Amino acid sequence: MYWIFNHNFLIWVNNIPLLGCLLMIFIPRDNLNLIRFISYTISIVTFLITIFLWILFDESYHYFQFVTSLKIFNISSVKYVLGVDGISLFFLILTSLLILISILLSWNSIKQLELTKEFFILFLIIESLLLNAFSIIDLLLFYIFFESVLIPMFAIIGIFGSRTRKIRASYQFFLYTLVGSLFILVAILLIYFETGTTNISILYNVDFSERRQLVLWLAFFASFAVKVPIIPVHIWLPEAHAEAPTIGSIILAGILLKLGGYGFLRFSLPLFPYASLYYAPVIYILSILAIIYASLTTLRQIDLKKIVAYSSIAHIGYVILGIFSFNMEGIEGSILLILGHGFVSSALFLCVGILYDRYHTRILKYYSGLVIFMPIFSTLLFFFILANLGFPGTSNFIGEFLILVGLSQSSALLTIFSAFGIILSASYCLWFYNRIVFGNLKEKYFNFLQDISKKEFIALLPLIILTLWIGLYPNIFLKPIHITAVRLISHII
């Protein structure tokens, strides 16, 4: 058992999926069951190890824990050092859980069966890259992992997407992210040139001059803003979601958006405190725009996935507001909302994916009166719609509430606007649910109707449990974040 307490095991966490890829290369393509089985076991193993991380996490220590380093990926003074602290812990767990659920779900739903092996290999590569990105304590390598996720996502959206507009969507996704990311490259190089290191734990103690901070913060913002997405560079998100396969959407919504939030928490705030305070009004305006505009646009959408995508943008607007409110409640609330949004949005995309698997259309017009033949599905969907609203008792409520508390300490006017956003989210969520589930059954469009299957139910189950758990007893989740958030705030002040 001692190997667990050996400090190496963060490397295992990150790179077990890569080992799985290596294994899978040697399996012949037709042996579908073996491929699925291997990817499934690898994702379960990764998930269990990340749970270990949580159990062994020391909540009273505010620096990085489980720090390990390897002698690969070394470029002059850039070293591959991994570490977990309060902020990244839950991102790791979120990532491995969502990948586990997606692999479970994609058992039978890949259209091009002969490309199953490539699909799972891409998936495991994405998982490994994301886990690495969330746990690495080095700026340049974070950037490399952050950007390397583009290639497999481009392939997944483009090859396994569901409609013919997918090429344009994957182009947009790729190019938007690329343009934003090149500015952050220049900023990282400038930091490296000025301080001689890109190690975050050293950089946290470096004070940049104020003018330089302003420029560097803008460069970092350019990249994270596209990833988050912040209006006005949000257009790639609905397109990418509409074209991606279900599992691609889950990964996109659940994790890739969090990369932007994580980037803000890990890099923009601690490294450039003066610049963050300086630009905070801009962020406030953009986030409130995101909340209100995205919620209003949702009312006009006809594609189910686009509705969920725009609601994603709205929720991330809350997250960014929370991050930039510069107090304890705001940051803890934003991390909780990130977690909650990860669960709830993924679950909503899952439900839409269930509908798409059966009826092969995502246009709102064709769905009505589903409760008659799919009661279990309707119940689950209702639960997630309420969670999306921010209904008390679910994770989103805790997150939004904490964010509003934090925001009210910064500015009362903003709180009024964002509380207004909650009403808007209620409007589109309930209307969405109402139109699909209740009403008369439109028989002429459907040939057969089938309720949710056991596999999909089991895939949704962890999300339900986690949402309720965070909603009813969030303290367990808040404790690890607490001390890190304290350090973050004290540094800024």
Partner 1 sequence: MNILISMIDIYLFMPELFIIFSFFILLIYGVSISTNKNYGYPVLLKSIGYLTIIVFLFTLFFLIKSSDFSSVYFSNFFFSNQSLKWIKITLLIISIFYIFLIISNIYLEKLNIFEFFLLFLLTILAIFLIISTFDLISIYISLEILNLTFYVLATIKRTSEFSTEAGLKYFILGVFSTGILLFGISLIYGYTGITNFTDLNIFIQNLIENKNVIEFPIQLLLGLVLISVAFFFKLSAAPFHMWSPDVYEGTITSVIALFTIFTKVIIFYLFINLFNFAFYDLFSIWQKLVIFCAFFSLFLGTFIAFIQTKFKRFLAYSSINHMGFIIIAVSSANCNGFYSLFFYIIIYILINLGIFSSFFSLRSVTSYKVNKQARYINEFIILSKTQPMVAFSILIIFFSIAGIPPLAGFFAKLIVFLTCLENSSYSLVIFSILISCLAAFYYIRIIKIIYFDNFEVWPIYLPIDKLKANVLSFSVLSLTLFCLNPNLIINIIYIIVIM
Q: Work out whether 18 is an interface residue with partner 1 (CB under 8 A).
A: no
Q: What is the DSSP string of 176-192?
A: HHHHHHHHHHHHHHHHH
74-133 residues near partner 1, rule: CB under 8 A: 74-76
Q: Work out whether 144 is an interface residue with partner 1 (CB under 8 A).
A: yes
Q: What residue type is 286 in one-letter code?
A: L
Q: Position of tokens 């050996």?
A: 6
Out of 127, 147, 239, 400, name the contact with partner 1 by CB under 8 A: 147
Q: How far is CA 102 from the centre of its chain?
A: 14
Whether 339 and 395 have beta carbons less than 8 Å apart is answered as yes
Q: Work out whether 243 is an interface residue with partner 1 (CB under 8 A).
A: no
Query: For residues 72 and 412, which CB has a smaller minimum distance to partner 1 in the complex?
Result: 72
Contacts of 65 (CB under 8 A, 6+ apart): 57, 58, 83, 84, 85
Whether 118 and 151 have beta carbons less than 8 Å apart is answered as no
Shortest Å distance, C-beta 192 to partner 1? 7
β-pair type (78-84, 65-75): antiparallel
- Enter the tokens of residue 271: 């490294």
Task: Say how many Å lie between the first and final Cα of the chain, rounded.
Answer: 43
The span from the CA of 141 to the CA of 128, in Å, is: 14
Strand partners, 308: none
Q: Work out whether 416 is an interface residue with partner 1 (CB under 8 A).
A: no
Query: For residues 71 and 454, which CB has a smaller minimum distance to partner 1 in the complex?
Result: 71
- The three-class DSSP label of residue 69 is strand
The span from the CA of 484 to the CA of 491, in Å, is: 11
Using CB under 8 A, which of the segments 169-177, 239-247, 341-349, 373-381 binds partner 1? Answer: 169-177
Whether 354 and 378 have beta carbons less than 8 Å apart is answered as no
Query: For residues 23 and 190, which CB has a smaller minimum distance to partner 1 in the complex?
Result: 190
The span from the CA of 97 to the CA of 90, in Å, is: 10
- Enter the tokens of residue 340: 């909650």
Max Cα distance, the chain (Å)? 68
Using CB under 8 A, which of the segments 139-147, 224-232, 324-332, 414-422 binds partner 1? Answer: 139-147
Out of 12, 57, 107, 183, name the contact with partner 1 by CB under 8 A: 183
Query: For residues 183 and 366, which CB has a smaller minimum distance to partner 1 in the complex?
Result: 183
The span from the CA of 493 to the CA of 488, in Å, is: 9
Q: Work out whether 263 is an interface residue with partner 1 (CB under 8 A).
A: no
- The three-class DSSP label of residue 452 is coil
Out of 19, 159, 214, 489, name the contact with partner 1 by CB under 8 A: 159
Whether 341 and 418 have beta carbons less than 8 Å apart is answered as no
Contacts of 412 (CB under 8 A, 6+ apart): none
- Enter the tokens of residue 335: 């991390």
DSSP letter (8 states) at residue 7: T
Q: Which run of H or E residues covers position 347?
A: helix 328-359
184-203 residues near partner 1, rule: CB under 8 A: 185-186, 189-190, 192-193
Out of 56, 178, 282, 423, name the contact with partner 1 by CB under 8 A: 178
Q: Work out whether 235 is an interface residue with partner 1 (CB under 8 A).
A: no
Query: For residues 48 and 178, which CB has a smaller minimum distance to partner 1 in the complex?
Result: 178
Out of 174, 326, 356, 417, name the contact with partner 1 by CB under 8 A: 174
Shortest Å distance, C-beta 35 to partner 1? 17
Query: For residues 78 and 386, which CB has a smaller minimum distance to partner 1 in the complex?
Result: 78
Query: For residues 193 and 448, which CB has a smaller minimum distance to partner 1 in the complex?
Result: 193
Using CB under 8 A, which of the segments 93-101, 170-178, 426-434, 485-493 binds partner 1? Answer: 170-178
Out of 151, 233, 296, 426, name the contact with partner 1 by CB under 8 A: 151
Q: Work out whether 48 is an interface residue with partner 1 (CB under 8 A).
A: no
230 — phi, psi (to 5°)? -105, 140
72 CB-contact burial (10 Å; exposed 0-12 / middle 13-18 / buried 19+) = exposed
Query: For residues 148 and 411, which CB has a smaller minimum distance to partner 1 in the complex?
Result: 148
Total chain residues near partner 1 (CB under 8 A): 32
Shortest Å distance, C-beta 149 to partner 1? 10
Q: Work out whether 19 is an interface residue with partner 1 (CB under 8 A).
A: no
Query: For residues 120 and 417, which CB has a smaller minimum distance to partner 1 in the complex?
Result: 120
Using CB under 8 A, which of the segments 57-65, 165-173, 196-204, 304-312 binds partner 1? Answer: 165-173
Query: For residues 100 and 122, which CB has a smaller minimum distance to partner 1 in the complex?
Result: 122
Out of 47, 120, 143, 284, name the contact with partner 1 by CB under 8 A: 143
Q: Work out whether 54 is an interface residue with partner 1 (CB under 8 A).
A: no
Q: Work out whether 4 is an interface residue with partner 1 (CB under 8 A).
A: no
Q: Work out whether 26 is an interface residue with partner 1 (CB under 8 A).
A: no
Q: Work out whether 239 is an interface residue with partner 1 (CB under 8 A).
A: no
Distances (CA, A) of 6 to 3, 9, 56, 81, 201: 5, 7, 12, 16, 22
Shortest Å distance, C-beta 83 to partner 1? 20
Q: How far is CA 177 from the centre of its chain?
A: 15
The span from the CA of 118 to the CA of 172, in Å, is: 23
Query: For residues 124 and 354, which CB has a smaller minimum distance to partner 1 in the complex?
Result: 124
Q: Residues interacting with partner 1, by CB under 8 A? A: 71-76, 143-145, 147-148, 150-151, 154-155, 158-159, 166-167, 171, 174-175, 178-179, 182-183, 185-186, 189-190, 192-193
